[in-house]
Structure 1
């Protein structure tokens, strides 16, 4: 199991580094710690959606744990269910 911790600011500048870090973890079960996220943009949400689709296609689990309120609010604003980025449901 590989763990990736999301940074506090997930804006457009964080998109490429996030995608690269997730790509490096490909082929392994993945846990993403989202507890530190204070600001999130749609581009990083797209990266998380893509990662979830990729891990699902690879038959591997991807779980986002400890989602922050700003992340959950951003998903809700965009009309995206939490389960579109994580196998397990949010406990918040």
Structure 2
């Protein structure tokens, strides 16, 4: 499984870097560690939702690990905290 540690700020710029890292790993199982993230925006959520759908279609593992408090709060505000991949369902 390939590990990705995204930028601490997953704003527009950080989301673009995350999307690039994901594209480079398409076709492999991935784990994304969100423990260090201090800023998590809607672009980051959309990036992860789209990637999850792609990985699911490709039948590869897509795991989000250790979401920080900032990630959890943003997902709650965006009403995505119960949606895969954020709900823990893969």
Length-normalised TM-score, structure 2: 0.90
Q: Secondary structure of 1:63's match?
A: strand
Q: Secondary structure of 1:84's match?
A: coil
Verify the 8 A CA contact 2:33 2:64 in the aligned structure 1: yes
Moved segments of 4+, more than 2 Å? 85-89
Length-normalised TM-score, structure 1: 0.88
Q: Secondary structure of 1:60's match?
A: coil
1: distance between equivalents of 2:83 and 2:68?
15
Superposed CA deviations along residues 23-58 of structure 1, whole A, max 9, x for unmatched, are 101111110000000011101110011111110111
Superposed CA deviations along residues 47-83 of structure 1, whole A, max 9, x for unmatched, are 0111111101111110101110110111111111355
Aligned length: 89
Verify the 8 A CA contact 2:35 2:68 in the aligned structure 1: yes
List alignment gaps of at least 5 residues for structure 1. none
List alignment gaps of at least 5 residues for structure 2. none
2: distance between equivalents of 1:44 and 1:63?
15
- CA-based RMSD: 1.6
Verify the 8 A CA contact 1:8 1:36 in the aligned structure 2: yes
